[in-house]
Structure 1
Amino acid sequence: MFIKSNVMYVYSFEKLETWQKARIFRKEIYLLTKKFPKEEIFGLTSQVKRSVSSISDCLAEGSSRITAKDQAHFASMAYASAIETINHLIGAHDLEYISDDDYYAFRLKLEELTNKINALRTAILNRA
């Protein structure tokens, strides 16, 4: 499912399916962290929100870079942020902040997203 609006795309990253999926994933993670204990607001909650936001941030910033090498670098950083996010989800699962079902569902979504990021990076490098 993609977030749709009547607003015309202004920036190229908004057209990227990978960025759209990262945007939706960020929203889902933010909603998930509402289940975390309040004492984690400046700990794990903050960390997972920062790392998941960094995925779409890097994709957006990379789209503005002129060279394919720079664009691919930002795709690599988006991938790294996705891996950081899964590490935080593992921690949240270990601490029983999220259920087994949520954990596995988010892992699957993240696996799809990381595959798309890798495909985007490869496409960028192949057109260079």
Structure 2
Amino acid sequence: MSGVQSYRDLIVWQRAMDVAAATYQLTREYPRDELFGLTSQSRRAAVSIPANIAEGYGRASKQAYINFLRIAQGSLKELETHLLLAERVGTAGAGSIQPILEQSEEIGRMLKALIGKLRDHPGR
């Protein structure tokens, strides 16, 4: 990962931050009675993605980094599930979640590639 001085230089972290911001924007439209339900859960999952990428980057071992990237993958799938449910029950408007889902797919591929690179190459 030459040229990477910080987790903020990682494109996957930048994209995850975009998804978190988009999730906050989307959930502002959710009904008030969902504040402690799908709104809170979606936001927590979305924030967890870049947070775990950053936390893993700051860990001392490559294995710890990989573990945090895997947690980020899990949070990504959790967010996707919350969004799909929100659309299914009418909390999110039809089609409103699609851009975030598309970004999520890209982030999922990037996380998988980063994990593979870390696992297959010595050093960081």
Q: Same fold (TM over 0.5)?
A: yes
Which range moved further: 93-102 or 80-89?
93-102
CA positional deviation for 1:121 = 1.0
Which residue among 70, 88, 108 is the counterpart of 1:114? 108
Structure 2: distance between partners of 1:59 and 1:118: 12
1:69 aligns with 2:54: no
| Aligned residues with identical type, % of pairs | 29
Contact 2:15/2:103 (<8 A) preserved: no
Partner deviation per Cα, 1:67-123 (whole Å, 9 max, x = no partner)? 111111010000000000001001100111223322222211110111111111111
Q: Does 2:72 align with 1:78?
A: yes
Q: Match of 2:121?
A: 127
Structure 2 residue runs without a partner (length 5+): none
Q: 1:49: which partner in 2? A: 43
Q: Which amino acid aligns with 2:121?
A: R
- Name the CA distance, whole Å, in 1 between partners of 2:88 and 2:70: 27
| Number of matched pairs | 118
Q: Which moved more, 1:95-104 or 1:84-93?
A: 95-104
Q: CA deviation at 1:26?
A: 0.4
Rounded Cα–Cα distance in structure 2 between residues aligned with 1:105 and 1:65: 32
The reply on whether 1:24 has 2:40 as its aligned counterpart is no
Structure 1 residue runs of 5 or longer lacking an equivalent are: 1-10
1:38 matched to 2:32? The reply is yes
- Tell me the residue number matched to 1:5: none
Partner of residue 87, structure 1: 81
- Distance in 1 (CA, whole Å) between partners of 2:98 and 2:24 is 17
Match of 1:3 in 2: none
> TM-score, normalising length from structure 1?
0.87
